[in-house]
Amino acid sequence: MTQTPKLAMIEAADAVETFTHRSFGEGPDWKTPPHTYAALGPMVRLARNLVQAVDQVTFPVDRTQAEGRVALDDDSGPVGRIARMKQAQRQAAAAANALVQALAEMHAATSAMGYDTLGLPEDDEEDTA
């Protein structure tokens, strides 16, 4: 793997931002319940990976602290800052887990949804799946 963790997170953030821009309106691939269902599957996967990413994002700090090498700009000791970071990490992990559960529920709820084509011209049916 040649990509750094930082660049991977930048690309992930860019991909989510692209989704928000492309999903704002309506288009042939974004107008019916199956489109929502299809987007939710990868969104659940993203959230599940976010749980692990939240856990792993502090590894460099943990390693540096274990070596006794964490330095701060204000010459205060790192113990309080690390405790604050770890508390926020626990909160982020809980929020990420809640996000996974909520998105999985959304995905399950939309799984049986479709698009009622009754009464529509047959040409329109091709663009609804």
Q: Residue 108 in contact with residue 29, Cβ under 8 Å?
A: no
pLDDT for 26: 86
pLDDT for 127: 55
Q: Find the helix or strand (DSSP H, E) in which 12 lies.
A: helix 5-22
Percent of the chain surpassing pLDDT 70 = 93
pLDDT band at 83 (very low <50, low <70, confident <90, very high): very high
Residue whose tokens read 């405790």 = 83
pLDDT for 122: 81
pLDDT over 70 at 128, yes or no: no
11-43: pLDDT as tens digits = 999 999 999 999 998 889 999 999 999 999 999
pLDDT over 60 at 126, yes or no: no
pLDDT over 90 at 1, yes or no: no
The H-assigned helical ranges of 28-77 are: 33-56, 59-66
pLDDT band at 77 (very low <50, low <70, confident <90, very high): confident
Q: Residue 35 in contact with residue 111, Cβ under 8 Å?
A: no
pLDDT over 90 at 75, yes or no: no
